[in-house]
Amino acid sequence: MEKRNLEQRCATKFCVKLNENATEFYEKLKRSYGEHALLRAQVFRCHSTFLDGSESMEDELLSGRPCTSKTEENATKVRAFVGSDRLLTVRMIGSELNLNHQTVHDILTEELGMRKICAKLVPKNLTNEQKENRRSVCLDLLEFIENDEKFFKSVITGDESWIFDYYPDTKRQSSEWHTSKSLRPKKARKSKSKIKSMLFFF
């Protein structure tokens, strides 16, 4: 048993002798030991054990408690586990590896230098074949430009877009100048046009 955990179990036993409740004692442990404090469930279980008359300092909390050590071995386990699925949460990793979630967070951010990043939204994920096709077209265009100085004069570009018949004014667009004694103007709520047209331009 780690010395720090043994200290906290001793303190828990002392707290029971003084008739302190588990909630108050847990808050004191957090202030004293910070991230190294025993988990809330551990403290309450330990408190209950001593309250029932147990004198042992070694037994109950050893089996299955999450590890709180930021060792090289644990860092290796976390690195391998994250590598298998980067969508896993800190709590999921901690649950699978039997590690305290704060320990997992510290290993990820401090030891491995990692952070959670949201996926970037793009219009489309191109396949390798599509990328190669675009590259081929660009090379052909470059060749045309090198061989014909007037090439761009023969190029016509076009696009299309849906447009609504009208857009309701925003709150800022409908604001007016008034004196402090004027009544606030009223404006009926208006939704965006349900009719829209396709606009082509070249």
- pLDDT value at 64 more than 60: no
Residues 6+ apart with CB under 8 A from 163: 196, 197, 198, 199
Model-wide pTM > 0.85: no
DSSP state of 108: I
Structure tokens given for 180: 């402090």
* pLDDT tens digit sequence for 2-56: 566 777 778 878 788 878 888 888 888 788 888 777 777 777 777 777 777 776 6
Domain ranges of the chain: 3-62, 72-111, 128-201
Give Cα 55 distance to the centre of its chain: 44
Residues 6+ apart with CB under 8 A from 46: 9, 12, 38, 60, 61
